[in-house]
Each structure stands twice: as C-alpha cells, then as structure tokens.
C-alpha cells in the first residue's frame, strides 16, 4: 500500500481539547494534577460544577486530580453495573411493554454492556498510574470515556422516542441522566490528569523522518486454498503489495459467501458466526469474501467478532439491503441494515442499503460503533440518517454516501477522505443536511472531518426544479463539531452553508469550519455568522482534523491495507 504522506511542519495543538470552544476553563487551568485540591476548587473547571462537587465531596478533602479521577471512574463502574441490572429488570417484564419500548430497552442493554466494558478498561489504566500517559494510551482511554457518554445519549434518545409507558420513561431517564453527569466528571478528570497537553509524534518527527510504523511489513499467513481466494481478490488491487515498502495485510483465514452454494456459506450472517471470538490484531484478519449478489440480511457484528475483514465484488455488485425504519417501530439505532461494534472491522467493495424510502424518515443503512474501523470503496444508500457514525474512531476512503436529512450523523471521531457525498431528492417541504454531528460534552474527542471529498447533487436532486435547499450540516447536539477541508463543494449547497437545529441551540458551543475548499458552493461570503462558525486560513489550525492528528491514523491504518493521506494535501 502506498499511503500519501504530508508531514505537518508545526505539530498542531492536541486534538483532545479543540480550540477555545471545547473547554476554556480546563484549558486555562495550569494547576499541576499532583497538587492537592478541594472538590470545590477542582470542580470549578469541570462541566456542571455543582454536581461534580456533590460527587467528590465524600472523598478525601486533600486529594489531587489522580485521586479524585480514580474515585470517579470507580464509582462510574458501580453505577454502570446498577444501570445494566435495571435494564434487565424492565426486560424481564417485556410482555407488559410495547414492541418499540422493548426494542429501545434492548438497545440500552447492548449499550450498557459496552459501557461497563469501557469503564472497566479505563479503570484498569487509571488505577495503575498517577502521571500523564503516552499520546496513544491517553487517546485510547479518552475515546472509550467519550463513547460512554454517546451510548448514554443514544439510550436516552431511544427511550424518550419510543417508550409510551410513563413508568419506563421516568424509571430509565432519571438514572440515565444522573449517570451521564457522573461519566462526564470522569472524562473531565481524566482529560485533566492523564492526557498530554501537547501531542507527541508517534510515526513522524517534525522534520519528516519516518520512524518505522509504515515501513513494517505484516506477514501473510494462510493455507494454499485460502491463498488462491486471496489472490483472486487481490487482482482487484485491494490488498496486494506494490513494492518492497508496501504493507502486506495479515490474514489468518478466509471464507467465501456465495448465494449459489459454491462457497463456504450462502449467507453473510453464517460467515460472521464462524469467525473466531475475541481475536487479537496480531492474529491477522478473518476475511469474509462476499461474492456479487443482493443479500437481504440484517447483519450485526457483535463486540466479540474482532478484526474481521469483509470484501465484496464492488459497489452495486455486492449489496447488503434491508428496509427497517422508525415509522415501522424500530429505533434509529436498530433500524440499521448493517451494524458493527467489534473493533478493527474493515469493509471493502460493498454497497450498504436501506430501501425504506424518504417517507419512512429515519432509516439507517449502516451503523458503526466499531473502534479503529475502516470502510474503503463502499457505498451507503438511504434517505434520512443513511450513515450512523455512532462512536469511537472511524475512517472512510473512496466511499459514496447518498441521503437527504442528516444523512451522515453520530458522535464518532471520523475522517472521510476522497469520498463523494450525494444529497438526494427529499420529501416535499424537507431540506437536505449532509451532517448532524452529535458531540454532547466539551471533553469528548469526537467530530466529523471531511477531507478532499466531493459534494454534488445526486441525479434525482439534480433533475428537480432546484428549490430544495441543501446544507453542509446542522448542530444535532450542543458541541457539534464538523470541518470541511480541501473539498469540492458544488452549487447544490446553499450559500448560507449551515442550518440551525432549533432556534439558537448550540450556535455558540458548536464548532463548524471550512478550509481551502473549491467549487461554486465553497464561497463563504454569505455563510452564517454564528459564533461557532469559522473560516480557517491557517493550516496549523485545521491540522487538528487530519488523519495524523484526529485519528492518530498512522499508528493503525497501515495494517488495514487501505490507502490514506496522513496530512493535508500539498
């Protein structure tokens, strides 16, 4: 693989705390995390100071940030267990609940299980040390703590939207909100005590010297029969090495899905079930080769199906399709045709589709909550809420995304590179919003970065009378964060660029930015004048949102075999 690299001459400020909009109080507090401090003084620099003080008050009055941070994360683990038990209690009485309410509770059960895993992993880290962590380790934990807040919000949104029973709403919503405040305290204290103030280069030095990560050659281990399948796929130039410095993807085993029965499986779900559980990155990928065909399946890659790679025969050749929607009683979360939460997932040459149509409102083609996940040369097709970039760290390269209202949404740390965004023709009286980013907390390390992409009208919208308005995005949550950089924006985008969600909600706290874009829709002269909107002129500022800085992608993307640009284009 040849990944184009551009080394930033000046390392940008840590992406863990974005500019002044993210957390001005934390950024301005230079007190050492080892200095004893009272809960009252410590909580002045944390979101919801009153709640923070009440949580920390019972603990030692002369503790430091590390002491209080460990106490907060430990308490968070306890509360996560209690909440998971509460969800199980409601589900034991599912016969008394509506189908939509049960589905929302099932979402909450899955999310609560993930939260408990994430908190236990985070506590293991913070309990070992009272010092600033390495950049990579700090980002791992901050990413998990950020995802916990996202999972809480997703559970709450589903319960409030679908649970008709007052007792369910009240019984779940109150502890959800209180636990979310506690998790926010844990995230803030972790950011203050364990996260480096400045990012340190891991693969590239400021002078541009390569330090070894992308020179590493990954071994190729497989049987002769599997090698034949691998080489057949490689002829499409997906995984083969081009010269001695390129990566070779590590593949442990390969199975083929073919509807005519000539492969190992006839359904994708059966192939996923056959994948090993809790595989390690060092074991290599379990590769599922899905031959051309239309697969009417709802596929869910569970958290234990780690490091799974799925390759199809091409966009509009291998198609995975479904038609679930909110109108038909599903939550937005579980309306997805394809869903993945297992870390290290890679998909190549596949179309993900939801055919519910604009009239069914929220209907997700793909929901991704998989950390360190990658989609290359894929297509995502639906209308409202097409691509749910739910949480954790994600990368999309050379993909096509079609939709109408909020068709790229969620709260992951995600970079789209060399992708095509195609706004479609929505229902009458609707408008198009390409993004709806869902960051809820100033200390989350999340946002949408759109780099070297193309924004053009889909054929049906292009053939309309031109009255449909299309916007780059709108603020779904309070700290909504989206950046377009070095992209082509066609005239389909309204001159205002961005649209309100509801009145002045999040216009001060969101962060929307554009940098060095081209095309008739890139003119910023008549853009919105919100405090949270920025036209960036300095490459060192926008550098926070590159693959290198935003995802630390040089550390994990090479092993996927997917091409990427580490920094800005020259």
- Chain-centre distance of CA 558, in angstroms? 19
For 402, list phi and psi in degrees, rounded to 5: -115, 135
Closest residue by Cα to residue 305 from 280, 276, 331: 276
- Chain-centre distance of CA 224, in angstroms? 37
DSSP per position, 316-381: TTEEEEE---TTTT--TGGG-SEEE-STT-EEES-EEEE-S-GGG-B--SEEE--TTEEEES-EEE
CA gap 9, 357 in Å, rounded? 47
Q: Tell me which of 406, 441, 490, 554 is the catalytic residue.
A: 406
CA gap 505, 502 in Å, rounded? 6
The three-point CA angle 285-289-294 to 5° equals 140
How big is the chain by its Cα radius of gyration, in Å? 23
Structure tokens at 216: 């590493």
Cβ-Cβ contacts under 8 Å for 485 (sequence gap 6 or more): 449, 450, 451, 452, 513, 514, 515, 516, 517, 536, 542, 545, 568
406 is catalytic: yes
Residue 188: Cβ within 10 Å count: 27
CA gap 163, 555 in Å, rounded? 42
CA gap 98, 353 in Å, rounded? 28
CA gap 381, 403 in Å, rounded? 7
Are 419 and 401 a contacting pair, CB within 8 Å? yes
Catalytic positions are 406
């Amino acid at each position: 693989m040849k990944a184009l690299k551009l080394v930033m001459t000046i390392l940008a400020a840590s992406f863990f705390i974005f500019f002044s909009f993210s957390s001005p109080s934390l950024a301005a507090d230079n007190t050492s995390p080892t200095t004893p401090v009272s809960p009252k003084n410590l909580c002045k620099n944390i979101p919801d100071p009153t709640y923070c003080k009440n949580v920390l008050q019972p603990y030692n009055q002369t503790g430091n940030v590390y002491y209080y941070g460990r106490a907060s994360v430990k308490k968070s683990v306890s509360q996560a267990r209690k909440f998971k038990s509460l969800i199980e209690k409601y589900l034991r009485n599912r016969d008394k609940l509506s189908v939509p309410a049960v589905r929302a509770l099932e979402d909450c059960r899955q999310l609560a299980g993930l939260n408990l895993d994430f908190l236990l992993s985070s506590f293991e880290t913070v309990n070992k040390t009272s010092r600033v962590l390495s950049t990579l380790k700090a980002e791992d934990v901050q990413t998990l703590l950020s995802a916990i807040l996202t999972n809480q919000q997703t559970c709450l949104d589903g319960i409030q939207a679908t649970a008709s029973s007052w007792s369910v709403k009240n019984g779940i919503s109150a502890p959800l909100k209180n636990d979310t405040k506690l998790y926010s305290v844990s995230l803030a204290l972790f950011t203050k005590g364990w996260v480096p103030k400045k990012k340190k280069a891991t693969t590239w030095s400021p002078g541009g010297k390569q330090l070894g990560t992308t020179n590493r050659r990954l071994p190729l281990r497989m049987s002769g029969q599997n090698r034949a399948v691998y080489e057949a796929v490689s002829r499409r130039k997906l995984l083969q090495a081009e010269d001695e410095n390129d990566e070779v993807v590590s593949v442990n085993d390969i199975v083929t899905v073919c509807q005519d029965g000539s492969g190992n499986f006839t359904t994708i779900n059966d192939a996923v079930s056959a994948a090993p559980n809790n595989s390690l990155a060092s074991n290599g990928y379990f590769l599922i080769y899905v031959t051309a065909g239309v697969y009417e399946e709802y596929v869910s890659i569970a958290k234990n199906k780690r490091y799974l790679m799925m390759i199809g025969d091409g966009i509009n050749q291998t198609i995975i399709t479904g038609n679930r929607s909110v109108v038909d009683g599903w939550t937005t979360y579980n309306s997805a045709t394809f869903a993945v939460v297992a870390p290290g997932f890679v998909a190549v040459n596949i179309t993900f589709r939801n055919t519910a149509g604009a009239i069914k409102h929220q209907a997700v083609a793909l929901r991704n909550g998989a950390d360190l996940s990658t989609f290359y040369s894929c297509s995502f097709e639906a209308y409202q809420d097409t691509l749910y970039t739910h949480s954790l760290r994600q990368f999309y390269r050379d993909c096509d995304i079609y939709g109408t209202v909020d068709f790229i949404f969620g709260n992951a740390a995600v970079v789209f590179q060399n992708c095509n965004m195609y706004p479609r023709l929505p229902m009458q009286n609707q408008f198009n919003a390409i993004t709806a980013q869902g960051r809820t907390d100033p200390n989350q390390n999340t946002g949408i970065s759109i780099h070297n992409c193309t924004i053009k009208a889909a054929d049906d919208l292009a053939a309309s009378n031109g009255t449909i308005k299309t916007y780059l995005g709108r603020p779904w949550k309070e700290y909504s964060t989206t950046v377009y950089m070095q992209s082509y924006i066609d005239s389909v985008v309204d001159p205002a660029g961005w649209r309100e969600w509801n009145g002045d909600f999040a216009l001060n706290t969101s962060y929307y930015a554009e940098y060095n874009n081209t095309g008739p829709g890139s003119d910023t002269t008549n853009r919105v004048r919100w405090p949270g909107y920025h036209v960036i002129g300095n490459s060192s500022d926008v550098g926070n949102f590159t693959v290198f800085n935003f995802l630390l992608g040089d550390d994990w993307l090479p092993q996927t075999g997917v091409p990427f640009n580490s920094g800005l284009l020259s």
